[in-house]
Amino acid sequence: MSSESLEKIKSAIVKKLPKRVQLANIEFEGSEVVIYTKNPEIITENGDLIRNLAKDLRKRIIVRSDKTVLLDQEKTIEKIHEIVPKEAEITNIGFNDVTSEVRIESKKPGIVIGKYGVTSREIVKNTGWAPKILRTPPIPSKIIEKIRHILKQSSEDRKQFLLSFGKRIHQEVNHENDWARLTSMGGFREVGRSCMLLQTPNSRVMIDCGVNVAGNDPKSSFPYLNVPEFSLEELDAVVISHAHLDHCGFLPYLYHYGYDGPVFCTTPTRDLMTLLQLDHIDIAHREDNPLPFDTKNVQKTVERTITLDYGEVTNIAQDIKLTLHNAGHILGSSIAHLHIGDGQHNMVYTGDFKFERSRLLDPATSKFPRLETLVMESTYGGHDDVQPSRNTSEKKLMKTIYQTLKQKGKVLIPVFAVGRAQELMVVLEEYMRHGMIDEVPIHIDGMIWEATAIHTARPEYLSKDLRDQIFHAGRNPFISDAFHKVTNPNKRKDIIEGEPSIILSTSGMLTGGNSVEYFKALCDDEKNTLIFVGYQSEGSLGRRIQKGWTEIPLMKDGKTKVFHVKMNIQTIEGFSGHSNRRQLMDYVKRLSTKPEKIITCHGDPHKTVDLASSIHKSLKIETKTPLNLECTRIQ
């Protein structure tokens, strides 16, 4: 049986490195190989050396200096300022003694790296410190600062964790990989609390760990962690597809109950998920309905998260390799490809995905060299789930806004903080810049601003169009003067009483938050317009208004008051982050490898079944629509 034991890898490295390299140590931090040397410049100057070694070993290789050759910290800072051109706008330099890394935060990280990495190599050569180059976001982000702080504080503990995880995944495989099975723990034939367990004879990996935010009790809100297949002690790793709470909201609970292993996701998913998890805890406290975990567990989650770029292959268990690909749903959202054993089985989980270009993101990836089982979402999998084209939707949005502003009214758009809000910001900025709608202030209220800051910190995850705008045309739509951050109640009062404007505010379904306060203040004036751009779930205030309720009792100053809805109400579909029915079917057709089996999940029961049966009929692929608690053998 094949194995990648640590000793074998070490001796392969020693054999391949030139004799001149003074090797101090070789360590395994998770699936990455770290080479410590007394003369790092020899390795860094010869770029091919590491590239070839990485290719041969199929491992990521990191080179660090032995502590004895590191330049004094103050001198290093001076040296860095000498080497890096001023245009890079360095905002902070910090050191990590545990990893011999120097963190350089800069507004233009590309300049710190230099062409083909020449500048960062120069830093290693002159100081011994390995540069870790981070972007200073154009909009400061409290969450990113917090995460960087947590990681700095916990660097020694994190290193120990990575070393022990490295040992675990490089163990000899004990059993032949002759089967694999998937247990549905949440989000099957329903939307919310997505969670599943992938088991092989050698390992157990959880994929997504969400909550159902609309659930009324723990039984319907949280995944079935009590299935007989699942035990926290045996869990090797967790993979998170994206930051929405129905995919990651229950993750901190695992740490509360003693899980100490890794979580794999993209960097933006880590950032956005931390923001949403902390907000979830906060809201639950305010509503006097506390969650079974707290902020300490969110911090632990950050400490145990290993981030991956799209396309980067990594071992997450002894016999499972993970690659994340763009899902086109929200920033950092991913489709997970899991490669079991020596290729005995390949499973792809789509998470939530959009198979169409949006303003914000490129369409989901459909190219996989190997694929036997596809697990796909079916939110809009019903045969009548047709949505208007994006172009039509944008035109309708602009016409509605144009008319409202013309009659001196205000436009209120309730949105989810992550995803739709930024999509609309890009659309509004463009139309305003081209003079298609009047130049009025666009007020950004609630958590949307912080979520937008995270988008500006990770531009490499945005669509090609946006990247071109930001990197080549030097125009970042998110930092346009059109947007105004709303931070306090006085400002809100001014907005309500002030001139015509556009207001983006959470929550997206008017289930609480400031969007409800704006609604109360604006609803009785027919000049104003309320525009829904996202899904309104049954029971939400948004859904009631959509249904045409004109008298709505709501709390005001501690008393119930009836609000009369006279404002114009519009619903504009087509801005969804999910694929519609046609795109779901197209996705299966366009897959570069035809899967043997397709499992549908994440959708109302009839939609999940409808999509599965259509795929079976028209594409002749075996399909399954398991219920929660069911177990499916995939190999």
Binding residues for Zn ion, rule: CB under 5 A, are 244, 352
Q: Which residue has the tokens 């916990």?
A: 154
Beta bridge partners of residue 184, listed in sequence order: 196
- For Zn ion, the closer of residues 210 and 261 by Cβ is 210
Nearest to 166 by CA among 259, 60, 61, 33: 33
- Are 369 and 593 spatial neighbours (Cβ–Cβ below 8 Å)? yes
Distance CA 604, CA 139 (A): 38
Task: Please state the closest distance from residue 272 (CB atom) to Zn ion, in A.
Answer: 11
- Nearer CB in complex with Zn ion: 259/353: 353
The minimum distance between CB 53 and Zn ion, in angstroms, equals 39
Q: Could you give the angle at which helices 73-83 and 118-127 cross, rounded to 10 degrees?
A: 150
Minimum CB–partner distance for residue 192 and Zn ion (Å): 10
Least Å distance between CB 329 and Zn ion?
6
Q: Report the alpha-carbon distance of residue 152 to residue 300 in Å, rounded.
A: 13
Q: Which is nearer to Zn ion, 30 or 186 (CB)?
A: 186
Secondary structure of 455-484 as H, E, C letters: HHHCHHHCCHHHHHHHHHCCCCHHHCCCEE
- Composition of the chain by helix, strand, coil, percent to 5: 40, 20, 40
Structure tokens at 526: 């027919």
Q: Of 191 and 237, which CB lies nearer to Zn ion in the complex structure?
A: 191
Instruction: Tally Cβ neighbours within 10 Å of residue 430.
Output: 15
Smallest separation (angstroms) from Zn ion to the CB of 230: 23
Tell me 626's DSSP state: P
**Which residue, 500 or 577, has its beta carbon nearer to Zn ion?**
577
Residue placing its CB nearer to Zn ion in the complex, 168 or 244:
244
Q: 352 or 429, CB closer to Zn ion?
A: 352
Pair 294, 302: CB distance under 8 Å: no
Taking the complex as a whole, the smallest distance from the CB of residue 333 to Zn ion amounts, in Å, to 7
Tokens matching residue 163: 């070393």
Minimum CB distance to Zn ion smaller for 352 or for 423: 352
Q: Which residue has the tokens 């059109």?
A: 482
Closest separation in Å from C-beta 420 to Zn ion: 11
In whole angstroms, the minimum distance from the beta carbon of 423 to Zn ion comes to: 13
Find residue 133's DSSP bridge partners.
104
What is the spatial distance between Cα 432 and Cα 411, in angstroms, rounded to a whole number? Answer: 14
Shortest gap between Cβ of 170 and Zn ion (angstroms)? 34
Kindly state the tokens that stand for 214: 């609309």
* Of 421, 437, 409, residue with least CA distance to 521: 409
Please report how close the Cβ of residue 570 comes to Zn ion at its closest, in angstroms. Answer: 24
Cβ-Cβ contacts under 8 Å for 516 (sequence gap 6 or more): 507, 510, 541, 554
Buried b (16+ CB within 10 A) or exposed e, 289-323: eebebeeebbbbbbbbbbbbebeeebbbbbbbbbb
